[in-house]
């Protein structure tokens, strides 16, 4: 593959164009620090975006068109009422299937809060009936009215209705994560542009000398571009390493921790931060080249 | 009129029509009714002359008369506000930025306040014209060049550590390393003593004998007299915004 001339020249070490730019100056550490800080932030924005992506997927999967009916009744009427609700559901359009959870399933649901030895049979717990929605779905308001008429202790818990906004919120959070990454990239480009402009102004003598001896604008620009790109790459590598270390130090994801402890990378997701330094280098390359060529056009 | 500053002719050559193609081989740089105006009136006006290949010119005139402006017009640092300047067969207005860069590779320039890249050693500074064109200098040629200008022992020195005379000689070495056709020197002896002035003059004369066109802006009449004893130098004088050929009795 043939690289564009500007990029090919960047990798041409034989010319050492960047040697003509003095190595010191406040723009040197400013560029490196900016790239490091922005990449560090970018790692966390990336982690947030990937984590919310996973969360949105998980919640979306959970929206399997299920609902729960919670039935409270005196113990002697529990079986009768349960049969009545199941019969009602069997004749309700839009309900694909329905079944009552047995005591073991109920104990499993309550175990995280009350421990494994909960005497389910001795407690006045409501009976849980799980229903699976068909296609098209059922009329939830109509079902509530029928339940109120035929089994007054039955309450329809339509959890798809509250999980959907949560899944949407997670999707938007993921979008915000990507937007943050884009803003961080744009900010880095802006700061590197300012640093490059300051460097070009500070090195007016260098530019005068180079022009006097016949250097083309592209050569002068390349000198600054190479210097700033290498600085940005160095800073971004340090920032990415620090960001990855920070993510590694976060608590491990577990069921009790929920979303916050799941903030991190999983599997191939750990490779994403490795793309950030080259990306930062590309941003610095484009920003410096644009700034340098524009500044050189301004200088007569 | 003071005979020492007698004006041989009002102008060297006046061209009322654009330069014709068939005449372009006998000059490296040509001015044709050229003028330059910094915004407060014309500093140079109706300048018409041709610098022949292999010729040697001194450019004199009081401070602020336009010597540096003339040289800047000659190497396309400035574009004339009126008239035409032609460098190596190309009218400077038609030159792109890249064309100007390529043109300057054929013109070596030495300023009184010569500037270098202070963070690079002398050798790297002298080699810079080759470096920016992607060429590598021959080590022996570079050593010979530095020896020619008497700076062989300072190859690794940084420019700020050089004296005024050493800087001028380094600038001359940098100016000639590309084997240019023309060398323009703006007050090259302004900051050096008489012995160093003579040494620089000798180097310029040697370059002229190699076929280079030399233009030296100076107000040092003793230097001009010294040069005329060695080379067939012509003296241009800037007076009243115009360039005139000065008399031979300098």
- Residue B22 included in any domain: no
Q: Are B104 and A22 inside 8 Å of each other by CB?
A: no
State the pLDDT confidence band at A205, using cuts at 50, 70 and 90: confident
Q: How far is CA B200 from CA A73, B183, B220, B226, in A?
A: 114, 13, 13, 12
Model confidence band, residue A158 (pLDDT cutoffs 50, 70, 90): confident
Q: Are B11 and B244 in contact (CB under 8 A)?
A: yes
Does A112 touch chain B if contact means CB atoms closer than 8 Å?
Answer: no
Cα A170 from Cα A128, distance rounded (Å): 28
Average pLDDT over residues A92-101: 88
Per-residue pLDDT, B26: 83
Residue B91's DSSP bridge partners are B86
For chain B, give the percent of residues with pLDDT over 90: 53
Domain extent, residue B155, equals 117-179
Question: CA-based angle B242:B247:B249, to the nearest 5?
Answer: 145
d(C-alpha A218, C-alpha B211), whole Å: 32
pLDDT at B249 over 70: no
pLDDT given for residue B20 in this prediction: 38
The pLDDT value recorded for residue B78 is 93
B169 part of a folded domain: yes
Among chain A residues, CA nearest to B176? A213
> With an 8 Å Cβ cutoff, is B120 touching chain A?
yes
Contacts of A22 in chain B (CB under 8 A): 117-119
- Domain tally, chain B: 1
The position carrying tokens 């997701």 is A269
pLDDT at B52: 93
Q: Which residue among A16, A22, A212 places its CB closest to the CB of B119?
A: A22
CB contact under 8 A, A15 and B134: yes
Least confident of A49-58, A195-204, B182-191: A49-58
Would you state the structure tokens that stand for residue A251, as one six-digit string? 């608590």
Among A65-74, A211-220, B71-80, name the one with the lowest average pLDDT.
Answer: A65-74
> Please, are residues A98 and A130 in contact by the beta-carbon 8 Å criterion?
yes
Asked if the structure places residue B156 within a domain, the reply is yes
Q: Angle at CA B236, nearest 5°, toward B230 and B239? A: 150
Closest CB to A213: pick one of B98, B120, B132: B132
Of A86 and A19, more confident: A86
* CB within 8 Å of chain A, chain B residues 132-171: 132-134
- Summarised one tens digit per residue, pLDDT across range B186-232 is 988 887 788 888 888 998 999 999 999 999 999 888 899 888 888 88
Q: What is the spatial distance between Cα B113 and Cα B126, in angstroms, rounded to a whole number?
A: 16
What the block records as the tokens of A109 is 């649901």
Domain boundaries, chain A: 5-60+164-298, 73-152
Question: Does B118 contact A at CB distance below 8 Å?
Answer: yes
Q: Do A214 and B102 touch (CB under 8 A)?
A: yes
Q: pLDDT at position A4, please?
A: 65
How confident is the model at residue A7, as a pLDDT? 60
**Interchain contact B95–A (C-beta under 8 A):** no
């Amino acid at each position: 593959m043939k690289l564009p001339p500007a990029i090919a020249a960047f990798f041409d070490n034989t010319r050492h164009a960047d040697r003509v730019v003095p190595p010191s100056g406040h723009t040197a550490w400013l560029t490196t620090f900016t790239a490091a800080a922005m990449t560090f932030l970018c790692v966390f924005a990336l982690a947030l975006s990937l984590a919310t992506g996973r969360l949105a997927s998980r919640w979306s999967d959970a929206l399997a068109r299920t609902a729960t009916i919670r039935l409270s009744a005196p113990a002697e009427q529990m079986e009768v009422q349960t049969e009545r609700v199941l019969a009602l559901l069997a004749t309700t359009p839009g309900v694909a299937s329905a079944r009552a959870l047995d005591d073991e399933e109920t104990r499993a649901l309550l175990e995280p809060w009350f421990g494994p030895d909960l005497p389910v049979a001795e407690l006045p717990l409501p009976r849980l009936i799980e229903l699976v929605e068909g296609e098209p779905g059922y009329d939830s308001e109509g079902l509530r009215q029928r339940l109120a008429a035929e089994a007054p202790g039955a309450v329809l818990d339509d959890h798809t209705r509250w999980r959907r906004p949560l899944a949407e919120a997670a999707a938007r959070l993921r979008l915000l994560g990507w937007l943050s990454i884009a803003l961080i990239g744009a900010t880095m480009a802006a700061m590197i542009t300012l640093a490059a402009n300051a460097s070009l102004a500070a090195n007016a003598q260098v530019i005068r000398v180079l022009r006097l001896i016949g250097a083309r604008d592209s050569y002068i620009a390349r000198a600054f571009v190479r210097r700033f790109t290498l600085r940005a790459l160095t800073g971004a590598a340090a920032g990415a390493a620090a960001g990855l270390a920070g993510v590694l130090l976060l608590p491990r994801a577990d069921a009790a921790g929920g979303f916050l402890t799941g903030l991190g990378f999983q599997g191939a997701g750990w490779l994403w931060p490795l793309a950030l330094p080259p990306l930062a280098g590309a941003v610095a390359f484009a920003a410096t080249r644009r700034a340098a060529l524009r500044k050189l056009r301004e200088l007569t | 009129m003071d005979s020492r500053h007698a004006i041989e002719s009002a102008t060297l050559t006046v061209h009322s029509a654009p330069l014709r193609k068939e005449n372009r081989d006998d000059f490296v740089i040509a001015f044709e009714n050229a003028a330059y105006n910094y915004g407060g009136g014309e500093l140079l006006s109706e300048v018409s002359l041709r610098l022949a290949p292999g010729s040697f010119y001194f450019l004199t005139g009081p401070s602020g008369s336009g010597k540096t402006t003339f040289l800047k017009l000659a190497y396309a640092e400035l574009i004339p506000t009126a008239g035409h300047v032609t460098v190596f067969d190309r009218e400077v207005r038609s030159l792109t930025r890249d064309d100007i860069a390529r043109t300057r590779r054929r013109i070596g320039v030495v300023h009184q306040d010569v500037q270098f890249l202070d963070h690079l050693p002398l050798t790297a500074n002298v080699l810079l014209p080759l470096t920016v064109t992607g060429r590598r200098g021959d080590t022996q040629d570079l050593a010979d060049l530095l020896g020619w200008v008497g700076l062989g022992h300072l190859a690794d020195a940084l420019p700020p550590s050089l004296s005024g005379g050493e800087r001028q000689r380094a600038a001359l070495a940098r100016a000639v390393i590309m084997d240019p056709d023309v060398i323009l020197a703006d007050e090259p002896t302004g900051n050096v003593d008489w012995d160093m002035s003579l040494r620089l003059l000798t180097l310029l004369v040697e370059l002229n004998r190699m076929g280079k066109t030399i233009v030296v802006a100076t107000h040092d009449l003793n230097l001009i007299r010294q040069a005329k004893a060695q080379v067939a130098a012509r003296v241009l004088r800037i007076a009243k915004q115009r360039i005139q050929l000065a008399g031979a009795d300098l």
